[in-house]
A and B are shown apart, each in its own frame.
Chain A
Amino acid sequence: MSRRMKDKAPKLSSNVLEMKFMKRTKLKLEAKEKQKKDQELFSECNPSTSEGVLNSNILDQVEICRDWQQLEGLVFGRQSFKGFNPEVEKLMIYYEKKRNGELSDSESDDGETEVNDKQMAKTLNRKRKGEANEERGYSSKNKRKMKKRNDSHQIPEKEEEKESDDDGPDVL
């Protein structure tokens, strides 16, 4: 009965889990599954513990962990100082965040977010003003450069005016 109940719990489909951005979730789920299977196997091999004879004993609730990194709270072994290897120094930040449990899913490896706070604030601000359609993901500086390059393309004058209002007078 209990097994049937477990199967009814909502699960993510395998297709979704195969996607790249779901990799971390997939790993977590697999780890849980493995733990469950191990426990089942253990209770099958040790019928005495599953029958509740020894369950009152504190010892049965004790987990075994042989991982020095977890036991002694060790940091990542590769370290660089005074900018000798900038890549490793980025990794140090990454592992430090991981150790403190501060790592969020949106962050990339080097510890920088894909969309930084300034960009986010800017975009949201424009959206509020109703100018989000005009932006389309380019910063105004880049866009101006593109416009200069592609002079042959007709750009509505209206947009040009608006932008110059936004960022102060253009340097000629």
Chain B
Amino acid sequence: MAFSNLNLSYLSLAKSLDVPVLSQLRLCSIVPLQGMTFYVPGEVIKSSRLPGVRILGYGLEKAPGGVGFCVVQPGVLQTDDKQQAWISIHSKRYIPQLGDHVVGVVTSRAGELYKVDIGSADQAYISFLSFEGATKRNRPNLGVGDVLYARIVRASRHLEPELSCVDAELKSRGMGKLEDGFVFKISTNHARRLLRASCRLLKLIGEQIRFEIAVGINGKIWIKSDDLNKVFFKFLFLN
């Protein structure tokens, strides 16, 4: 099978790169915590290493033959008390996933669709009907360069990702066009870290400065504030 061949080639690549050295180097720069292991694609984690795991997350696949789990993304293995295991990948490239909330920029309009740049390999599209209160007659007022906060409703490796600005109950609930503000890009792992419930960075900045933010899991960030001073950006970039 092509799949196993792919894994083998990854494995040989990993061997030639001298993995232990690589892993230690990366480990220092990504996660300063002890007891975490770095994995490269092709490595197989035996199921005895991860006892009681019920939910398999990003970067892990079931290895053929029922041996354990196959790593398909390079990163640090993470587990939590909800019996989940996933690979936390340090990357700037965004791969669309169903249900992610992303920040995108409208790049063009084609008939009933808007093309939106969300930083993935392919451009995403959004139908003009996927906005709250939009009908065939009442179209959303969007132009090229407008910023959207939207949810990914279709992510397939064969098709372009599709976005929507309404949830299952057809309400926007914070999604839609973002007026004014400033957009910049950070790495995807940084964006996830900002959104983690335990992360106090945004709250700390919020105690000092009056502002509004939209963090997309794709690493695009939109900020709006009365005084976009240098201190504010320093805060975000440093951490």
Contacts and interface: CB of A to CB of B under 8 A. Distances in A.
Contacts of A23: 169
A59 interface: yes
A72 to B, nearest CB: 6
Nearest to A91: B174
Interface in A8-41: 23-24, 27
Contact of B209 (A27, A74, A81): A81
Interface stretch (A62-70, A130-138, A146-154): A62-70
Contacts of B195: 72, 74-75, 77
Interface string B23-62: 0000000000000000000000001000001111110001
B192 interface: yes
B197 A74 contact: yes
Contacts of A94: 173
A4 B196 CA distance: 46
Contact of B173 (A68, A75, A91): A91
A54 interface: yes
Nearest to B206: A81
B86 to A, nearest CB: 5
A78 B165 CA distance: 13
A84 B98 CA distance: 30
A77 B149 contact: yes
Given A23-B169, A24-B169, A78 B214 contact: yes
A77 B99 CA distance: 13
Summarize B's interface: helix, strand, loop or mixed: mixed
Nearest to A99: B197
A68 B80 CA distance: 13
Interface residues of A, number: 39
Contacts of B53: 62
B144 to A, nearest CB: 23
Given A65-B84, A84-B225, A75 B212 contact: no
Interface in A48-89: 54, 57-85, 88
Contact of A66 (B57, B169, B192, B211): B57
B19 interface: no
B216 interface: yes
Contact of B100 (A27, A62, A69, A80): A69
A6 B134 CA distance: 39
18 contacts: A61-B54, A62-B55, A65-B55, A67-B100, A71-B57, A72-B88, A74-B192, A77-B214, A77-B216, A79-B212, A81-B209, A81-B211, A82-B211, A83-B210, A84-B226, A85-B212, A85-B224, A91-B174
Q: List 9 A-B pairs, minimum CB-CB distance, nearest first.
A: A81-B206, A82-B210, A74-B195, A77-B215, A80-B212, A71-B57, A91-B174, A78-B174, A84-B212
Interface of B: 47, 53-58, 62, 66, 68, 84, 86, 88, 97-101, 103, 149, 168-169, 171, 173-174, 192, 195-197, 202-203, 205-207, 209-217, 224-226
